[in-house]
């Protein structure tokens, strides 16, 4: 089966073979070192947001829509939403395709009708009444096992969040760990996220690592799809796990399948899920907990809400079959209210340190933003637009007193998962995984960040790699009793 993975990704950069090869390599190494310095700086800015917050705050007051040549920076929520909702005027494919070398993927499809077709196919594959519950149970089970093995200290990235998303990939996506090793898979998700968030220089070690992982993941998926297809063809589908890979492969045998849907489309989509989704969930979980432990009062309230949700769910599950319809509806309502209350704390914590602080779009033609307002600007053709959730969610017109932690803000005000037609398709995965991981940690008594550097979120490129927390093991034992 052919793939869309370019040869350059497989073969890597070629040094020019000339008589002055040594000099050429020296110059290229110097150039690469300079590019790597820029990559590290960009990764730092993308992960430690204090400088971005300062710049965006100043621009919002001075020039809400700032244009620097071909770069446009938006700082108002209404303008960010406008750009994200104007699918045809502000495109995404050209922006992110260089960071997605596995080929076209739902996120890169700028043709509106085709984007809708692919999204509709995926919506038909997802079991909306079942899959979120499956994800929640999977995450909760993995968290219990990981926390039980901890002894008053846990690296919530390396020992909790990464193992959780690797299991989601295996159990729900249908993508097992690379080489059968969960740590290798976790490292691969960081490397692949790095080439999307902050594309490393060609020939650098991060680029080489991501290239190697891309090759391994491509080969793995080709093998898994082939096995699934063979089992379905020989009427052994019942022996296959019910995951996205199996469901998508089964559609290959449907008579009226679209001509663009094939094995390589499945490979590209599942690769995109692994590369764009898993590290983002880890990043979101780490940032949420980081912001909660930085605010003791908010942490205490969030912990109370986590306990309330546990009790609401326990009450719902304890209802006997003879319980009245009214009692069941009351129990369901109590669970929903508890979930919503905790979600407000998670969303508000993420506002201060979003999963993705900047969203990027391109303007293929001249366009006007904020038309009819005093701040209206004409965006030149070929401009690149930074439509950042970080900027939008500190706009006081959308978030009064934005520097105040306020968990009572309307959920619909947040844009953590984007907006418009390109709103994150995998939101149901990310949201449930994030909620369950945060809940698991909030249950821990005396939860706090470890002392020193270990107690800060640390990164490899733009992806979190470590964040150590401490908790009271004796109190945990007392709770269990």
Q: Name the token pair of 31.
A: 């150039």
Closest CA to 189 of 208, 174, 209: 209
pLDDT of 296: 97
Question: E-assigned strands of 7-111?
Answer: 65-68, 71-74
Give the CB-side neighbour count of residue 376, counting CA atoms within 13 A. 7
- List all residues 6 or more positions away from 316 whose beta carbon is below 8 Å from its beta carbon: 328, 331, 332, 334, 335
**pLDDT above 80 for 237:** no
pTM, rounded to two decimals:
0.91
Position of tokens 């009214």? 326
Closest CA to 387 of 419, 411, 413: 419
Number of H helices, E strands in the chain: 18, 11
DSSP state, residue 180? G
As a whole number of angstroms, the distance between CA 190 and CA 185 comes to: 9
Q: Sign of torsion, CA 129 243 114 107? A: positive
Assign 327 to helix, strand or coil.
Answer: helix
DSSP H or E segment with residue 470: strand 468-470
CA distances from 450 to 55, 124, 253, 293 (A): 30, 45, 53, 11
pLDDT of 99: 61
Strands 153-155, 367-369: pairing is: unpaired
SS3 content of the chain, % helix, strand, coil (to 5): 60, 10, 30
The mean pLDDT value for 104-130 works out to 85
Q: Is the separation of the CB atoms in 191 and 209 below 8 Å?
A: yes
**pLDDT above 90 for 11:** no
Closest CA to 92 of 369, 386, 370, 417: 386
Assign 469 to helix, strand or coil.
Answer: strand
Strands 384-387, 71-74: pairing is: parallel
The angle formed by the CA atoms of residues 197, 139 and 101, to the nearest 5 degrees, is: 25
Q: What domains are defined for the chain?
A: 40-399+416-480 (1.10.630.10)
As a whole number of angstroms, the distance between CA 173 and CA 141 comes to: 17
Question: 459 — phi, psi (to 5°)?
Answer: -130, 150
Question: E-assigned strands of 228-369?
Answer: 360-362, 367-369
Number of Cβ within a 10 Å radius of residue 4: 16
As a whole number of angstroms, the distance between CA 105 and CA 112 comes to: 13
pLDDT of 13: 45
Mean pLDDT computed over every residue of the chain: 90
**pLDDT above 90 for 236:** no
- List all residues 6 or more positions away from 262 whose beta carbon is below 8 Å from its beta carbon: 252
Per-residue pLDDT of 50-76, as tens digits, reads 999 999 999 999 999 999 999 999 999
Number of Cβ within a 10 Å radius of residue 147: 18
pLDDT of 479: 54
Question: 400 — phi, psi (to 5°)?
Answer: -55, 140
Q: Is the separation of the CB atoms in 99 and 199 below 8 Å?
A: yes
Question: Looking at per-residue confidence, does 316 or 481 come out higher?
Answer: 316
Q: Is the separation of the CB atoms in 389 and 80 below 8 Å?
A: yes
**pLDDT above 80 for 110:** no
Per-residue pLDDT of 197-229, as tens digits, reads 888 898 899 999 998 999 999 999 999 999 999
As a whole number of angstroms, the distance between CA 334 and CA 431 comes to: 19
Residues in the chain: 481
Across 232-242, b (16+ Cβ under 10 Å) vs e yields beeeebeebee
Q: What is the rounded (10 degree) CA torsion for 316, 317, 320, 325? A: 30
Mean pLDDT lowest among 38-47, 420-429, 453-462: 420-429
Per-residue pLDDT of 18-34, as tens digits, reads 445 787 888 888 999 99
Q: Name the token pair of 93.
A: 């494919």
As a whole number of angstroms, the distance between CA 73 and CA 110 comes to: 21
Question: 465 — phi, psi (to 5°)?
Answer: -125, -15
């Amino acid at each position: 089966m052919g793939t869309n993975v370019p040869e350059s990704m497989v073969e890597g950069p070629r040094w020019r073979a000339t008589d002055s090869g040594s000099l050429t390599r020296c110059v290229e190494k110097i150039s690469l070192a300079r590019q790597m310095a820029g990559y590290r700086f960009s990764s730092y800015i993308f992960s430690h947001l204090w400088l971005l917050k300062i710049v965006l705050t100043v621009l919002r007051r001075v020039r809400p829509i700032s244009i620097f040549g071909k770069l446009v920076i938006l700082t108002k929520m209404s303008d960010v939403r406008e750009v994200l909702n104007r699918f045809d005027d502000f495109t995404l494919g050209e922006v992110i395709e260089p960071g997605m070398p596995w080929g076209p993927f739902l996120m890169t499809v700028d043709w509106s009708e085709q984007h809708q077709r692919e999204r509709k196919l995926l919506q038909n594959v997802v079991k909306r009444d079942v899959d979120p519950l499956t994800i929640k149970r999977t995450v909760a089970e993995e968290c219990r096992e990981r926390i039980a093995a901890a002894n008053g200290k846990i690296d919530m990235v390396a020992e909790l969040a990464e193992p959780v998303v690797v299991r989601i990939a295996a159990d729900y996506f249908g993508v097992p760990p690379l080489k059968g090793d969960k740590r290798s898979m976790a490292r691969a998700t960081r490397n692949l996220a790095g080439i999307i968030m902050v594309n490393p220089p060609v020939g650098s070690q991060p680029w080489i690592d991501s290239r190697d992982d891309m090759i391994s993941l491509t080969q793995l998926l080709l093998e898994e799809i082939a096995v699934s297809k063979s089992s379905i063809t020989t009427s052994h589908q019942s022996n296959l796990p019910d995951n996205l890979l199996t469901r998508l492969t089964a559609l290959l045998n449907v008579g009226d399948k679209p001509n663009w849907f094939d094995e390589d489309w499945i490979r590209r989509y599942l690769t995109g899920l692994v590369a764009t989704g898993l590290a983002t969930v880890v990043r979101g979980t780490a940032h949420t907990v980081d912001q909660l432990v930085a605010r003791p009062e908010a942490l205490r309230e969030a912990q109370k809400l986590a306990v309330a949700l546990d009790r609401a769910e326990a009450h719902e599950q304890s209802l006997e079959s003879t319980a009245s319809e009214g009692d069941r509806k009351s129990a369901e309502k109590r669970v929903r209210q508890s979930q919503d209350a905790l979600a407000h704390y998670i969303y508000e914590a993420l506002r201060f340190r979003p999963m993705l602080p900047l969203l990027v779009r391109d303007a293929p033609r001249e366009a006007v933003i904020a038309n009819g307002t005093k701040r209206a600007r004409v965006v030149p053709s070929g401009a690149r637009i930074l439509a950042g959730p970080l900027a939008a969610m500190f706009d006081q017109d959308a978030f009064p007193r934005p520097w105040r932690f306020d968990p009572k803000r309307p959920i619909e005000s947040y844009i953590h998962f984007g907006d418009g037609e390109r709103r994150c398709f995998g939101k149901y995965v990310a949201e449930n995984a994030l909620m369950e991981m945060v809940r698991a940690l909030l249950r821990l008594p005396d939860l706090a960040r470890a002392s020193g550097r270990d107690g800060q979120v640390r990164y490899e490129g733009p992806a979190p790699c470590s964040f150590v927390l401490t908790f009271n093991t004796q109190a945990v034992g007392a709770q269990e009793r």
